[in-house]
Structure 1
Amino acid sequence: MSDVDTTRTRAQAATDAAQGMGVEARSQAQLVLRRFLRHKGAVAGLIGLGAIVVLAMSSIGFGPIPGWWPKDFATTGTLVNEGRPTLSVWPSFLGGPGFQIGEHPFGQDNVGRDYFALTMRGAQVSLIIAFIVGIVATFVGTVIGAVAGYFRGKAEASLMRLTDVVITIPTLLFAGLVAVMWGQQGIVVLGLVLGLVTWTPTARLIRGEVLSIREKEFVTAARSFGASSVRIITKHVLPNTVGIIIVSVTLAIATAIILESALSFLGLGVQPPDTSLGRIISDYQNALTVRPWLFYWPGLFIIGIVLSVNFIGDGLRDAFDPRQNRVRD
């Protein structure tokens, strides 16, 4: 019997033994999904982020799709009750008015615009920019890290020196510079250029992982069969770094939310007449002591998005890393 037949026989015997013990054979994807769903924080983060996305996109509509909220974020009006929020969740049996939504649940701003609609538009823009940044930064970092880690030599030296140069430049300063140059082109362009300045952590993580994977037996076997470097990277190396790539996306999204908010707060991000969560906080920062609801509603959404994404990333890290003991299979 050949070595291959022996290996197959042992694998079949292990499978039969597992089935005989009542253990269901699971694929790697099923194991990852099982670990993720057993991570309470990750599930809570997924539910929270999903709720925010659905609320922001469905309430005021997106593009040609209308929303269920009757008010527009750009329409001004007359202040009602000094623009105070009409939303109430204080139970009536505790002396409160009970659950009420009212005409302006988040209140009104200084010119009478509905603050719920305005906050929802800010959440839409911030989420769009964050997801674009996450995808672009992860893609660029993955390509640079994979090329540097696999080819080594001059390619690694030049790409890693470029990474080191970008890292030494303060991210907020660099992002502010590109935002001034291209931020007027719209939120999609802003997301693209911000993604091009936040790829360095992903590149270093992928490079370190590829340096380890390139020495594995299956990569050596692929080289001996004459597989090209591009095929080895795309078919053998990168699929084994999918866990790091997915986690990097979540980390990049969380970082992008904070970065966009900081730039918009400084007036370098999203430009009027559009808005974002950071832009709203910047516009109404002076109202913190007299009309605090103009400040804390967008702030709460920023905190909610960032925490949800971080919890999801934490759960994905534990799910993809078999060395983690926090979640059982």
Structure 2
Amino acid sequence: MAGLTPVSPLPEKAPTPRAPVSPGREAWRRFKRHRLAVVCAFILGFIILAVLLGPWIWRVPINEIDFTARMQGPSWAHPLGTDDLGQDLLARMLYGGRISLAVGLAAMVIAITVGVVVGAVAGMSKGPVDVFLMWLTDLFLSLPQLPLLLLIFYLFNDTLKKWVGAEMGVFILVVAVIGGLRWMPVARLVRAQFLSLREKEFVEAARALGASPWRQVTVHILPNAMGPVIVAATIDVAAAIIAESTLSFLGLGFPPDIPTWGRILFDAKDHMDIAPHWALFPGLLIFITVLTINYIGDGLRDAYDPRRVL
């Protein structure tokens, strides 16, 4: 109508800004979308709790010999059966799981530490340092791992046993050898990440503001390169468990009175026709542990992949 002033529409309410999400929380949200990885994480957690708390619950001694129960199948008295000396396999596998998992984790720490240091130095260096470190990495990659493992065990096994005892000497040797031969892929991965990240805008800004190379690495570059490193760490744990089991199966790992999963398989290889349970349960446990770690690695890879939309 004439004389009426049109009413202006009310201004729309500005949307409430979303609170920033930390990278760790965003990675956890992405990881939860990988349901198989979440299930495997629960299974692996159960295995770890079993080997840590199991010996306190199942108190059968690992070296208790009972010839009347030798090579018996699963029963109420022995849920996983017995070996040729009548020793309880459940107790021995729970005890040996601690050593197998400890070897895998310790070897992973060594491999990741050496690989990150070598890769970071090579990625931040230019010229002969980078060339030398990559040449050293290629040299270690070209070494045959299993023959080298056998040679190192032959040369240093007895010496370490005299210095720190049989069990600790073998543990140190196994961890050092496996970890010392698994750092090369991590070094290549970290170097590639550093070469890419050091040219990014946020690193250039930090460099322009006077950040030292050490601060650039520890504050800006390395935290953004840890996603692939975490994935590589899970793979290294699985590889270390397999390597320790292989060495024990060949009779070169821990002594017979220390029942790692690989050692139990080695003791069972001559009795598989009459006591298949003796090899079945430790082999199945190695398979499940390595499989769950690999699927967790797949979930972490998807969680830390910025190009993947989840």
* TM bracket, shorter-chain basis: 0.7 to 0.9
Q: In the alignment, what sits opposite 1:69?
A: 58
Q: Shift in Å at residue 24 of structure 1?
A: 6.1
- d(CA) in 1 for partners of 2:110, 2:194: 20
Question: Which residue is 1:128 aligned to?
Answer: 102
- Counterparts of 2:35 and 2:153 in 1: how far apart (Å)? 38
Report Cα offsets for 1:205-226 as digits up to 9, x if no partner: 1111111011112222222333
SS of residue matched to 1:321: coil
2:108 is the counterpart of 1:119: no
From 56, 68, 82, the equivalent of 1:79 is: 68
Q: In the TM superposition, what is the alpha-carbon distance from 1:172 to its structure 2 partner? A: 1.9
Residue 149 of structure 2 corresponds to 175
Spell out, residue by residue over 1:275-301, the C-alpha distance to the aligned partner (whole angstroms, 9 max, x if none).
311111111111112210011111011
Higher radius of gyration, 1 or 2: 2
RMSD: 1.8
Pick from 226, 235, 255 the counterpart of residue 239 of structure 2. Answer: 255
Q: What is the rounded CA distance, in whole Å, between the counterparts of 2:207 and 2:70 in structure 1?
A: 74
What per-residue deviation string (whole Å, max 9, x for no partner) do you get for residues 43-70 of structure 1?
111111111111111111xxxxxx0112
Relative to the length of structure 2, the TM-score reads 0.87
1:142 aligns with 2:116: yes
Shift of 1:82: 4.7
Post-superposition shift, 1:118? 1.1
Q: How far apart are 1:81 and its partner, in Å?
A: 7.6
Q: Which runs of 5+ in 1 are unaligned?
A: 1-15, 61-66, 87-101
Conserved in 1, the CA contact under 8 Å of 2:235 and 2:294?
yes
**Residue number in structure 1 paired with 2:44:** 49
- Distance in 2, Cα, partners of 1:44 & 1:179: 38
Q: Write the distance in 1 (CA, Å) between the matches of 2:68 and 2:103.
A: 32
Structure 2 residue runs without a partner (length 5+) = 1-13, 162-168
Amino acid of the structure 2 residue aligned with 1:124: R
Shift of the 139–25 alpha-carbon distance from structure 1 to 2, 3 Å rule, reads same
Amino acid at match of 1:132: A
CA distance in 1, matches of 2:43, 2:284: 12
- Give the equivalent residue in structure 1 for 2:10: none
Give, in whole Å, the separation in 2 of the partners of 1:276 and 1:126.
6
Could you tell me how far apart the structure 2 residues matched to 1:195 and 1:202 are? 11
Matched to 1:36, the amino acid is F
Q: Tell me the secondary structure at the aligned position of residue 220 of structure 1.
A: helix
- Residues 301 and 207 (structure 1), Cα distance of their counterparts in 2 relative to 1, 3 Å cut: same
In the TM superposition, residue 37 of structure 1 has moved relative to its aligned partner by 1.4
Question: CA 1:306–1:110 in 2, change beyond 3 Å: closer, same or farther?
Answer: same
> Is the contact between residue 70 and residue 85 of structure 2 (CA under 8 Å) also seen in structure 1?
no
Q: Which residue of 1 aligns with 2:54?
A: 59
User: In structure 2, do the counterparts of structure 1 residues 80 and 271 end up closer, same or farther at CA, with 3 Å as the change threshold?
Assistant: closer
The SS at the match of 1:83 is coil
Partner SS, residue 70 of structure 1? coil
- On the 8 A contact 1:148/1:156 being kept in 2, the answer is yes
> Paired residue for 1:35, among 24, 30, 35?
30
Distance 2:207 2:151 in 1: 44
Question: Residue 175 of structure 1 contacts residue 197 of structure 1 at CA under 8 Å; is this kept in 2?
Answer: no
1:182–1:190 CA contact under 8 A, matched in 2: no
* Letter matched to residue 125 of structure 1: I
2:252 corresponds to which of 268, 288, 307: 268
Distance in 2 of aligned mates of 1:108 and 1:54: 23
Deviation at 1:160, TM superposition (A): 0.6
Distance change >3 Å, CA 228–CA 25, structure 1 → 2: closer
Q: Distance in 1 between matches of 2:183 and 2:191?
A: 12
**Take 1:68 and 1:26, find their aligned partners in 2: how far apart are those partners?**
42
CA distance in 2, matches of 1:143, 1:176: 27
- Preserved contact between residue 97 and residue 261 of structure 2 (Cα < 8 Å): yes
> How much does 1:274 deviate?
1.4
TM-score when normalising by structure 1: 0.83
Deviation at 1:189, TM superposition (A): 4.4
Mapped to 1, the partners of 2:295 and 2:32 lie a distance apart of 12
1:319 shift after superposition:
0.5
Aligned to 1:156: 130
Bigger shift: residues 156-165 or 223-232: 223-232
